Amino acid sequence: MEFPSHIFKAYDIRGKVGTELSPELCEAIGSACAEWLPTQGIVAVGRDMRPDSAQLADAVIRGLRKQGRAVWDIGEVTSDMIYFAVGAYDLAGGMVVTASHNAGDYNGIKIYRDKVTPVGLDSGLDAIRDLAQANQFTPAENEGSLEQKTITDEWVQHAVAMVQPETWPKFSIAIDAGNGMAGAILPTVLENLPISAERMYFDLDGTFPNHEANPQNPDNLKDLVQTVISNRYDFGIAFDGDGDRAAFVDEKGRPVLGTDLISIVAKLILAKYPGSKIVHDVRTSRATKELVREWGGEPVRTKAGRVYIGALVREVGAQFGGETTGHLFFASNFDADSGLVAALYVMQAIAESGKKLSELVDEYRRYVMPPEINFETTNSKAVIAKLKETYSEAAQDELDGLTVESKAFWFNLRSSNTEPVIRLNIEAETTDILEAELAKIQQIVESTL
């Protein structure tokens, strides 16, 4: 079988099970990580609930141990629990077998090195790929040790300690775990919170029988929206498959955009850490950046992608950073992202505001901004070239794809790192302006297909 280099993505490893990601390859990746990780010491390995995740995690562990690495097997966990394990116990690294929100026939591996540093293609994953492809490993004299560890209680205590649930009203909410890993951890969390929560799809099932565990897609929020509206709940929360993202719907059943969550959390952070830097990606609303400045903070812009945002949060000493897909990063969480911590912070912010979630969203959303729009194309370079020409009189930059800034609107168009699509984020002062620019962009995309 030809080595599947293409499954080594910008931020992690993702591929179809069997045809692209096999136990043999996972063992080679484990051995490659054992050799590449720059710090000696223990490596934590966890996994999600997909049918093949246990087998693939066992293969990763074999590869690590063959090269002499001591391993903690922490079992079925959310991805953010791996980040916590590396940070809290000062480990040499962590690997979690998961394909996050991808369909059930996919799996993958997220890798972190010491100090909870994410490993992407330009920060070590390319070297790990090349080592795994060569597969020329000399086993260590002594096989590394293996220890089974359970860290759920420590993780929940760490997360809940960041907020003050005793100050909250008794929220009445719905939570959709999407049959993903959050469903295993949330019961322990809920024991520590003064809220009433209807539990939706908490049973672990890596075939995702109810809907894909991707809360960024509004279609996957339909059940949650209906439950919130029917029961007049205060709001709803949905988690992705590996639990490192949380999405919200307000009491009116409206999905809350990722940029709105960044605004909501940023205000809370800036009240506690005045003048802090707030990292955000190129797709973030103008309103969010304006609000951060008005609240005394400093917005810092970077490329989309959790690897870039997490790294910049640490580099500039920011207290908080957010990606519009829902990955939220906290200095108090080893500069790492977490769906659980994000959900707790948003609930703390709602409690302190004394307002409904819909009121906060309406207050902070100053412009018209639809959810991200995807266009299928195999010719993204031609699309971007044509857009640069069409909008030549507007300010442009290519930090990540193409960003065009005009007084009445802005947009960012960038190629996906995981799919054959280009992703459009656009915002305008009015609906009429938005629709006019969107039609123009769509015509250009269609004419270059």
- Separation of alpha carbons 172 and 175, rounded Å: 10
Residue reference for tokens 């979690």: 96
List, as one string, the DSSP characters of 238-265.
EE-TTSS-EEEEETTSPBPPHHHHHHHH
Q: Which tokens hold the place of 140?
A: 């260590």
Which one from 31, 79, 100, 338 is the annotated catalytic residue?
Answer: 100
* Start-to-end CA span in the chain (Å): 33
Report the Cα 281 to chain-centroid distance in Å.
13
- Separation of alpha carbons 444 and 374, rounded Å: 14
Q: Which tokens hold the place of 85?
A: 């394990």
- Separation of alpha carbons 77 and 166, rounded Å: 27
- Separation of alpha carbons 322 and 206, rounded Å: 27
Residue 123 catalytic?
no
- Separation of alpha carbons 255 and 214, rounded Å: 13
- Separation of alpha carbons 312 and 303, rounded Å: 10
Question: In the beta sheet, which residues pair with residue 322?
Answer: 280, 328
The DSSP 8-state label assigned to residue 214 in this structure reads -
∠ CA 443-445-447, nearest 5°, is 65
In 3-state terms, what secondary structure has residue 385? helix
Give the CA distances from residue 256 to residues 142, 362, 431, in Å, rounded to whole numbers and listed in that order. 52, 10, 18
In 3-state terms, what secondary structure has residue 430? coil
Catalytic residues: 100
